[in-house]
Protein backbone atom coordinates (compact mmCIF):
# COMPACT_ATOMS: atom_id res chain seq x y z
CA UNK A 1 0.00 0.00 0.00
CA UNK A 2 2.99 2.32 0.42
CA UNK A 3 2.92 3.13 -3.31
CA UNK A 4 -0.35 4.95 -2.59
CA UNK A 5 1.21 7.12 0.13
CA UNK A 6 2.79 10.55 -0.30
CA UNK A 7 4.82 11.83 2.66
CA UNK A 8 5.02 15.49 3.66
CA UNK A 9 7.73 16.45 6.15
CA UNK A 10 7.16 19.77 7.93
CA UNK A 11 10.33 21.80 8.26
CA UNK A 12 9.08 23.74 11.26
CA UNK A 13 9.05 27.44 11.98
CA UNK A 14 11.88 29.78 12.80
CA UNK A 15 13.30 27.35 15.36
CA UNK A 16 13.94 30.03 17.97
CA UNK A 17 13.95 27.50 20.85
CA UNK A 18 16.88 25.70 19.17
CA UNK A 19 18.78 28.94 18.66
CA UNK A 20 21.71 29.53 18.19
CA UNK A 21 21.87 26.21 16.28
CA UNK A 22 19.16 27.56 13.95
CA UNK A 23 20.67 31.00 13.32
CA UNK A 24 22.07 29.93 9.94
CA UNK A 25 20.11 26.74 9.21
CA UNK A 26 16.57 25.40 9.46
CA UNK A 27 15.64 22.95 12.22
CA UNK A 28 15.64 19.88 9.93
CA UNK A 29 19.22 20.73 8.88
CA UNK A 30 20.63 20.74 12.44
CA UNK A 31 23.37 18.04 12.76
CA UNK A 32 22.70 15.12 15.12
CA UNK A 33 24.74 12.11 16.26
CA UNK A 34 27.91 13.53 14.76
CA UNK A 35 27.15 12.78 11.10
CA UNK A 36 23.41 13.05 10.37
CA UNK A 37 20.86 15.84 10.04
CA UNK A 38 17.49 15.90 11.81
CA UNK A 39 15.67 15.61 8.47
CA UNK A 40 17.41 12.27 7.88
CA UNK A 41 15.24 10.71 10.61
CA UNK A 42 11.76 11.06 9.02
CA UNK A 43 13.21 10.44 5.55
CA UNK A 44 14.93 7.25 6.74
CA UNK A 45 11.76 6.08 8.50
CA UNK A 46 9.89 6.55 5.21
CA UNK A 47 12.53 4.72 3.15
CA UNK A 48 12.65 1.84 5.64
CA UNK A 49 8.84 1.65 5.38
CA UNK A 50 8.87 1.54 1.58
CA UNK A 51 7.58 5.11 1.19
CA UNK A 52 9.75 6.64 -1.52
CA UNK A 53 7.96 9.88 -2.42
CA UNK A 54 8.53 12.76 -0.03
CA UNK A 55 8.22 16.53 0.09
CA UNK A 56 10.01 18.62 2.73
CA UNK A 57 8.30 21.96 3.45
CA UNK A 58 10.49 24.78 4.71
CA UNK A 59 10.78 28.55 4.72
CA UNK A 60 13.53 29.63 7.16
CA UNK A 61 17.27 29.35 6.40
CA UNK A 62 16.65 26.62 3.84
CA UNK A 63 19.94 26.82 1.86
CA UNK A 64 21.79 24.30 4.06
CA UNK A 65 18.83 21.91 3.98
CA UNK A 66 18.50 22.20 0.21
CA UNK A 67 22.18 21.38 -0.22
CA UNK A 68 22.02 18.38 2.10
CA UNK A 69 18.99 16.84 0.41
CA UNK A 70 20.37 17.51 -3.09
CA UNK A 71 23.68 15.82 -2.18
CA UNK A 72 22.13 12.89 -0.31
CA UNK A 73 18.94 11.46 -1.77
CA UNK A 74 19.61 10.24 -5.29
CA UNK A 75 17.39 7.61 -6.85
CA UNK A 76 17.43 5.60 -10.07
CA UNK A 77 16.22 7.35 -13.23
CA UNK A 78 13.82 4.42 -13.60
CA UNK A 79 12.31 4.97 -10.16
CA UNK A 80 9.41 7.22 -9.13
CA UNK A 81 11.18 7.94 -5.82
CA UNK A 82 12.08 11.50 -4.81
CA UNK A 83 12.78 13.78 -1.86
CA UNK A 84 11.96 17.33 -2.93
CA UNK A 85 12.08 20.65 -1.09
CA UNK A 86 9.00 22.87 -1.25
CA UNK A 87 9.97 26.27 0.11
CA UNK A 88 7.33 28.81 1.05
CA UNK A 89 6.46 30.91 -1.98
CA UNK A 90 4.34 34.00 -2.34
CA UNK A 91 1.73 33.77 -5.09
CA UNK A 92 -1.27 35.90 -6.11
CA UNK A 93 -3.50 33.48 -4.16
CA UNK A 94 -1.16 33.14 -1.17
CA UNK A 95 0.72 36.38 -0.46
CA UNK A 96 1.86 35.25 3.02
CA UNK A 97 4.46 32.79 4.31
CA UNK A 98 3.42 29.56 6.04
CA UNK A 99 1.32 30.40 9.10
CA UNK A 100 1.24 26.93 10.68
CA UNK A 101 1.42 23.21 9.97
CA UNK A 102 -1.90 23.00 8.13
CA UNK A 103 -1.32 26.26 6.28
CA UNK A 104 2.02 24.94 5.00
CA UNK A 105 0.36 21.84 3.52
CA UNK A 106 -2.55 23.90 2.18
CA UNK A 107 -0.25 26.34 0.37
CA UNK A 108 1.73 23.53 -1.26
CA UNK A 109 -1.25 21.28 -2.03
CA UNK A 110 -1.19 22.17 -5.74
CA UNK A 111 2.28 20.62 -5.98
CA UNK A 112 1.15 17.47 -4.18
CA UNK A 113 -1.82 17.03 -6.49
CA UNK A 114 0.52 16.66 -9.46
CA UNK A 115 1.15 13.12 -8.15
CA UNK A 116 -1.03 10.03 -7.86
CA UNK A 117 -1.75 9.07 -4.23
CA UNK A 118 -4.58 8.06 -1.93
CA UNK A 119 -3.08 8.90 1.46
CA UNK A 120 -0.97 11.76 2.81
CA UNK A 121 1.44 10.96 5.65
CA UNK A 122 2.31 14.20 7.48
CA UNK A 123 5.48 14.17 9.59
CA UNK A 124 7.54 16.56 11.67
CA UNK A 125 11.13 17.34 10.73
CA UNK A 126 12.39 17.69 14.31
CA UNK A 127 11.63 14.39 16.06
CA UNK A 128 13.88 11.47 16.91
CA UNK A 129 12.31 8.00 16.58
CA UNK A 130 12.34 4.77 14.54
CA UNK A 131 8.88 3.81 13.32
CA UNK A 132 7.47 1.42 10.73
CA UNK A 133 4.85 3.51 8.95
CA UNK A 134 3.51 0.37 7.21
CA UNK A 135 1.78 -0.62 10.44
CA UNK A 136 0.17 2.79 10.76
CA UNK A 137 -0.94 2.87 7.11
CA UNK A 138 -2.39 -0.65 7.36
CA UNK A 139 -4.27 0.24 10.56
CA UNK A 140 -5.65 3.33 8.84
CA UNK A 141 -6.91 1.36 5.84
CA UNK A 142 -8.27 -1.61 7.79
CA UNK A 143 -10.24 0.61 10.18
CA UNK A 144 -11.96 2.43 7.33
CA UNK A 145 -11.31 5.86 8.86
CA UNK A 146 -10.19 8.92 6.89
CA UNK A 147 -7.84 10.34 9.53
CA UNK A 148 -5.31 8.55 11.74
CA UNK A 149 -3.24 10.18 14.46
CA UNK A 150 -0.07 8.57 15.86
CA UNK A 151 -0.09 8.62 19.65
CA UNK A 152 2.37 7.70 22.37
CA UNK A 153 1.81 6.98 26.07
CA UNK A 154 3.43 9.60 28.32
CA UNK A 155 3.71 10.15 32.07
CA UNK A 156 1.68 12.62 34.12
CA UNK A 157 4.76 14.86 34.35
CA UNK A 158 5.15 14.96 30.56
CA UNK A 159 1.46 15.28 29.67
CA UNK A 160 1.07 19.10 30.06
CA UNK A 161 3.54 19.57 27.19
CA UNK A 162 1.36 17.68 24.68
CA UNK A 163 -2.06 17.42 23.15
CA UNK A 164 -3.72 14.65 25.22
CA UNK A 165 -6.58 12.47 23.97
CA UNK A 166 -8.86 9.63 24.96
CA UNK A 167 -10.13 6.82 22.73
CA UNK A 168 -12.71 4.02 22.88
CA UNK A 169 -12.23 0.24 22.57
CA UNK A 170 -11.98 0.55 18.78
CA UNK A 171 -9.17 3.14 19.23
CA UNK A 172 -11.41 5.90 17.86
CA UNK A 173 -10.54 9.20 19.52
CA UNK A 174 -13.42 10.52 21.59
CA UNK A 175 -11.92 13.67 23.13
CA UNK A 176 -8.85 15.87 22.86
CA UNK A 177 -7.30 18.63 24.97
CA UNK A 178 -4.28 20.76 24.07
CA UNK A 179 -1.59 21.00 26.80
CA UNK A 180 -3.86 20.34 29.80
CA UNK A 181 -3.17 21.80 33.23
CA UNK A 182 -1.84 19.29 35.76
CA UNK A 183 -5.04 19.60 37.78
CA UNK A 184 -7.07 18.16 34.88
CA UNK A 185 -4.95 15.09 34.18
CA UNK A 186 -6.82 12.72 36.50
CA UNK A 187 -9.72 12.77 34.01
CA UNK A 188 -7.46 12.11 31.01
CA UNK A 189 -5.92 8.72 31.76
CA UNK A 190 -6.21 5.91 29.19
CA UNK A 191 -5.79 2.15 29.08
CA UNK A 192 -2.39 2.22 27.41
CA UNK A 193 -1.62 -1.43 28.12
CA UNK A 194 -0.07 -3.27 31.05
CA UNK A 195 3.56 -2.53 30.13
CA UNK A 196 2.95 1.20 29.63
CA UNK A 197 0.93 1.49 32.85
CA UNK A 198 3.77 -0.19 34.75
CA UNK A 199 6.02 2.66 33.56
CA UNK A 200 3.48 5.27 34.64
CA UNK A 201 2.66 6.16 31.03
CA UNK A 202 -1.13 6.40 31.27
CA UNK A 203 -1.81 9.47 29.12
CA UNK A 204 -2.07 9.27 25.31
CA UNK A 205 -0.24 12.13 23.63
CA UNK A 206 -0.32 13.24 20.01
CA UNK A 207 2.98 12.73 18.19
CA UNK A 208 2.11 15.26 15.47
CA UNK A 209 2.09 12.46 12.88
CA UNK A 210 -1.05 12.17 10.75
CA UNK A 211 -2.52 10.19 7.86
CA UNK A 212 -5.29 11.82 5.83
CA UNK A 213 -7.24 10.41 2.93
CA UNK A 214 -6.46 12.55 -0.10
CA UNK A 215 -10.04 13.63 -0.84
CA UNK A 216 -10.76 14.52 2.77
CA UNK A 217 -7.67 16.71 3.03
CA UNK A 218 -8.75 18.61 -0.08
CA UNK A 219 -12.23 19.04 1.44
CA UNK A 220 -10.86 20.21 4.80
CA UNK A 221 -8.76 22.91 3.18
CA UNK A 222 -11.69 24.09 1.08
CA UNK A 223 -14.05 24.26 4.07
CA UNK A 224 -12.09 26.65 6.26
CA UNK A 225 -9.06 28.50 4.94
CA UNK A 226 -8.61 30.25 8.29
CA UNK A 227 -7.46 27.11 10.09
CA UNK A 228 -3.68 27.24 10.27
CA UNK A 229 -2.70 24.27 12.48
CA UNK A 230 -3.50 20.55 12.48
CA UNK A 231 -3.11 19.90 16.19
CA UNK A 232 -4.77 23.01 17.56
CA UNK A 233 -7.58 23.52 15.04
CA UNK A 234 -8.22 20.87 12.38
CA UNK A 235 -7.94 17.66 14.44
CA UNK A 236 -10.19 18.90 17.31
CA UNK A 237 -12.83 20.01 14.77
CA UNK A 238 -12.66 16.72 12.87
CA UNK A 239 -13.48 14.76 16.04
CA UNK A 240 -17.01 16.16 15.88
CA UNK A 241 -17.57 14.98 12.30
CA UNK A 242 -15.31 12.04 11.47
CA UNK A 243 -13.91 8.95 13.15
CA UNK A 244 -10.24 9.66 13.93
CA UNK A 245 -8.11 6.60 14.71
CA UNK A 246 -5.48 6.57 17.44
CA UNK A 247 -2.47 4.50 16.35
CA UNK A 248 -0.50 3.80 19.53
CA UNK A 249 3.29 3.71 19.20
CA UNK A 250 5.32 2.45 22.17
CA UNK A 251 8.92 2.84 21.02
CA UNK A 252 11.40 5.62 21.71
CA UNK A 253 10.29 9.06 20.55
CA UNK A 254 11.40 12.54 21.51
CA UNK A 255 10.51 15.96 20.21
CA UNK A 256 13.70 17.95 19.56
CA UNK A 257 12.08 21.23 20.55
CA UNK A 258 14.77 22.98 22.57
CA UNK A 259 18.48 22.91 23.40
CA UNK A 260 18.00 20.74 26.50
CA UNK A 261 16.08 17.98 24.66
CA UNK A 262 18.53 18.16 21.74
CA UNK A 263 21.50 17.81 24.10
CA UNK A 264 19.96 14.92 26.05
CA UNK A 265 18.97 13.06 22.89
CA UNK A 266 22.50 13.23 21.48
CA UNK A 267 24.30 12.27 24.69
CA UNK A 268 21.76 9.48 25.19
CA UNK A 269 23.24 7.81 22.12
CA UNK A 270 26.38 7.02 24.15
CA UNK A 271 24.49 4.79 26.64
CA UNK A 272 25.27 1.07 26.78
CA UNK A 273 21.80 0.31 25.39
CA UNK A 274 20.59 3.60 23.88
CA UNK A 275 16.86 4.11 23.45
CA UNK A 276 17.52 5.26 19.90
CA UNK A 277 19.50 2.49 18.23
CA UNK A 278 21.90 3.61 15.50
CA UNK A 279 23.05 0.00 15.04
CA UNK A 280 19.73 -1.51 13.89
CA UNK A 281 20.00 -2.85 10.34
CA UNK A 282 16.20 -2.87 10.05
CA UNK A 283 16.00 0.84 10.86
CA UNK A 284 19.02 2.27 9.07
CA UNK A 285 19.57 6.02 9.20
CA UNK A 286 20.56 7.33 5.79
CA UNK A 287 22.59 10.46 5.20
CA UNK A 288 25.05 12.07 2.83
CA UNK A 289 27.86 9.65 1.90
CA UNK A 290 31.23 11.27 2.58
CA UNK A 291 34.58 9.96 1.38
CA UNK A 292 36.33 10.56 4.69
CA UNK A 293 39.25 8.67 6.22
CA UNK A 294 38.77 6.70 9.44
CA UNK A 295 39.30 8.60 12.67
CA UNK A 296 42.80 8.69 14.19
CA UNK A 297 43.11 8.56 17.98
CA UNK A 298 46.44 9.10 19.74
CA UNK A 299 46.71 8.44 23.48
CA UNK A 300 43.10 9.33 24.27
CA UNK A 301 41.05 7.60 26.97
CA UNK A 302 37.55 7.02 25.60
CA UNK A 303 34.49 6.17 27.71
CA UNK A 304 30.90 6.23 26.46
CA UNK A 305 31.91 8.12 23.34
CA UNK A 306 30.65 8.17 19.76
CA UNK A 307 33.35 9.18 17.29
CA UNK A 308 32.36 10.02 13.72
CA UNK A 309 34.68 9.48 10.77
CA UNK A 310 37.55 11.74 9.76
CA UNK A 311 38.57 12.89 13.25
CA UNK A 312 42.10 13.54 14.57
CA UNK A 313 42.08 13.21 18.36
CA UNK A 314 45.05 13.83 20.67
CA UNK A 315 42.83 14.54 23.70
CA UNK A 316 43.66 13.24 27.13
CA UNK A 317 40.09 11.96 27.65
CA UNK A 318 36.65 12.00 26.02
CA UNK A 319 33.74 10.90 28.19
CA UNK A 320 29.98 10.72 27.62
CA UNK A 321 30.31 12.72 24.41
CA UNK A 322 29.52 12.69 20.70
CA UNK A 323 32.33 13.81 18.40
CA UNK A 324 31.28 14.84 14.89
CA UNK A 325 32.97 14.52 11.51
CA UNK A 326 36.44 15.99 10.94
CA UNK A 327 36.77 17.03 14.59
CA UNK A 328 40.28 17.94 15.77
CA UNK A 329 41.07 17.93 19.50
CA UNK A 330 44.49 18.86 20.88
CA UNK A 331 46.78 17.32 23.49
CA UNK A 332 45.95 17.19 27.22
CA UNK A 333 42.37 18.31 26.54
CA UNK A 334 39.50 16.79 28.53
CA UNK A 335 36.00 16.60 27.03
CA UNK A 336 33.09 15.47 29.20
CA UNK A 337 29.34 15.45 28.42
CA UNK A 338 29.64 17.36 25.17
CA UNK A 339 28.42 17.31 21.61
CA UNK A 340 31.24 18.45 19.33
CA UNK A 341 29.75 18.82 15.83
CA UNK A 342 33.09 18.89 14.02
CA UNK A 343 33.84 20.82 10.85
CA UNK A 344 32.92 21.10 7.19
CA UNK A 345 36.49 20.90 5.90
CA UNK A 346 40.08 20.16 6.79
CA UNK A 347 42.56 23.01 7.01
CA UNK A 348 45.55 22.61 4.75
CA UNK A 349 49.04 23.15 6.21
CA UNK A 350 49.41 26.54 4.53
CA UNK A 351 46.21 27.80 6.17
CA UNK A 352 47.29 26.49 9.55
CA UNK A 353 50.65 28.25 9.22
CA UNK A 354 48.95 31.56 8.39
CA UNK A 355 46.62 31.15 11.40
CA UNK A 356 49.65 30.46 13.60
CA UNK A 357 51.35 33.64 12.42
CA UNK A 358 48.18 35.63 13.06
CA UNK A 359 47.68 34.00 16.47
CA UNK A 360 44.33 32.63 15.36
CA UNK A 361 43.25 29.22 16.70
CA UNK A 362 42.93 26.37 14.22
CA UNK A 363 39.54 24.87 13.45
CA UNK A 364 38.83 22.45 16.30
CA UNK A 365 39.85 22.41 19.95
CA UNK A 366 43.34 23.34 21.10
CA UNK A 367 45.67 21.91 23.77
CA UNK A 368 45.09 21.74 27.53
CA UNK A 369 41.39 22.63 27.34
CA UNK A 370 38.56 21.58 29.62
CA UNK A 371 35.18 21.35 27.86
CA UNK A 372 32.16 20.16 29.90
CA UNK A 373 28.38 20.31 29.38
CA UNK A 374 28.68 22.07 26.06
CA UNK A 375 27.65 21.97 22.42
CA UNK A 376 30.22 23.17 19.91
CA UNK A 377 28.62 23.97 16.57
CA UNK A 378 30.40 23.39 13.26
CA UNK A 379 33.75 25.02 12.44
CA UNK A 380 34.46 26.45 15.90
CA UNK A 381 38.03 27.52 16.70
CA UNK A 382 38.83 26.90 20.35
CA UNK A 383 42.29 28.13 21.40
CA UNK A 384 44.73 26.59 23.88
CA UNK A 385 44.08 26.55 27.65
CA UNK A 386 40.37 27.31 27.22
CA UNK A 387 37.86 26.30 29.90
CA UNK A 388 34.18 25.94 28.96
CA UNK A 389 32.34 24.47 31.92
CA UNK A 390 28.57 24.43 31.71
CA UNK A 391 26.20 23.54 34.51
CA UNK A 392 23.23 24.67 36.57
CA UNK A 393 25.37 27.45 38.08
CA UNK A 394 25.26 29.36 34.77
CA UNK A 395 22.23 31.60 34.13
CA UNK A 396 20.64 31.68 30.68
CA UNK A 397 22.40 34.31 28.59
CA UNK A 398 23.38 35.20 25.03
CA UNK A 399 26.79 36.47 23.98
CA UNK A 400 28.50 37.21 20.69
CA UNK A 401 30.32 33.86 20.59
CA UNK A 402 28.14 31.59 22.72
CA UNK A 403 24.74 31.12 24.35
CA UNK A 404 23.84 29.48 27.66
CA UNK A 405 20.53 27.62 27.91
CA UNK A 406 19.56 25.34 30.81
CA UNK A 407 23.18 25.28 31.92
CA UNK A 408 24.40 24.10 28.50
CA UNK A 409 27.01 26.30 26.82
CA UNK A 410 26.37 26.43 23.06
CA UNK A 411 29.35 27.81 21.15
CA UNK A 412 28.07 29.35 17.94
CA UNK A 413 28.95 28.15 14.46
CA UNK A 414 32.36 29.40 13.35
CA UNK A 415 33.06 31.13 16.69
CA UNK A 416 36.68 31.94 17.52
CA UNK A 417 37.46 31.48 21.23
CA UNK A 418 40.91 32.96 22.04
CA UNK A 419 43.62 31.23 24.08
CA UNK A 420 43.00 31.22 27.81
CA UNK A 421 39.28 32.05 27.63
CA UNK A 422 37.28 30.89 30.67
CA UNK A 423 33.52 30.36 30.51
CA UNK A 424 32.27 28.86 33.75
* Chain centroid, CA 192 distance in Å: 26
Q: Do residues 340 and 388 lie in contact, with contact meaning Cβ atoms separated by under 8 Å?
A: no
**Minimum mean pLDDT among 67-76, 207-216, 385-394: which range?**
67-76
**Residue 213, SS3 per DSSP:** strand
Helix-helix angle 214-223:101-112, to 10 degrees: 120
Nearest to 257 by CA among 179, 176, 162: 162
Confidence of residue 14 (pLDDT cuts 50, 70, 90): low
The percent of residues above 90 in pLDDT, for the chain, comes to 65
Strands 5-10 and 53-58 come out as: parallel
- The answer to whether residues 220 and 324 belong to one domain is no
Q: Is residue 233 part of a domain?
A: yes
Count CB atoms within 10 A of the CB of residue 138: 14
Nearest to 26 by CA among 68, 70, 64: 64
Nearest to 125 by CA among 8, 296, 290: 8
Q: Is residue 16 part of a domain?
A: yes
Size of the chain, expressed as the number of residues it contains: 424
Q: Is residue 276 part of a domain?
A: no
Confidence of residue 38 (pLDDT cuts 50, 70, 90): very high
- The answer to whether residues 261 and 309 belong to one domain is no
Q: Is the pLDDT at 92 greater than 80, yes or no?
A: no
What is the Cα–Cα distance from 226 to 235, expressed in whole angstroms?
14
- The answer to whether residues 316 and 210 belong to one domain is no
- The answer to whether residues 255 and 311 belong to one domain is no
- The answer to whether residues 258 and 307 belong to one domain is no
- The answer to whether residues 257 and 387 belong to one domain is no
3-state secondary structure string, 308-352?
Answer: CCCCEECCCEEEEEEECCCCEECCCCEEEEEEECCCCCCCCHHHH
What is the Cα–Cα distance from 167 to 246, expressed in whole angstroms?
7
Q: What is the pLDDT of residue 411?
A: 98
112-125 pLDDT tens trace:
889 899 999 999 98
Nearest to 149 by CA among 126, 125, 166, 169: 166
Count CB atoms within 10 A of the CB of residue 5: 25
H/E element, 5: strand 5-10
Q: Which domain holds residue 42?
A: 2-268
- The answer to whether residues 322 and 386 belong to one domain is yes
Q: Is residue 288 part of a domain?
A: no
Q: Is residue 277 part of a domain?
A: no
CATH code for position 311 = 2.160.10.10
- The answer to whether residues 235 and 354 belong to one domain is no
H/E element, 137: helix 133-143
- The answer to whether residues 251 and 299 belong to one domain is no
H/E element, 154: strand 147-154
- The answer to whether residues 230 and 314 belong to one domain is no
267-294: average pLDDT: 92
Counting the structural domains of the chain, the total is: 2
- The answer to whether residues 205 and 66 belong to one domain is yes
Q: Is the pLDDT at 24 greater than 90, yes or no?
A: no
Amino acid sequence: MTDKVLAVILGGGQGSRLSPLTQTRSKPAVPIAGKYRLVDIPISNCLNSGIHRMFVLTQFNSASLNKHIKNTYHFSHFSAAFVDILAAEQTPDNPTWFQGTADAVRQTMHHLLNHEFEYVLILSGDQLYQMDFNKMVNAHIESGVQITLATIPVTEKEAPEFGILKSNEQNIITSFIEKPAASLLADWTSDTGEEMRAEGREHLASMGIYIFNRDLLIKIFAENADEKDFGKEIIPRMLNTYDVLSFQYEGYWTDIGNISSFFEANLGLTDDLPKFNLFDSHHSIFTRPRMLPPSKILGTTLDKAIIAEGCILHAESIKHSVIGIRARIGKETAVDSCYIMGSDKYQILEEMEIDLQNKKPWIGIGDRCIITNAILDKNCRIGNDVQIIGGAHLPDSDHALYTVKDGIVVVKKGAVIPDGTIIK
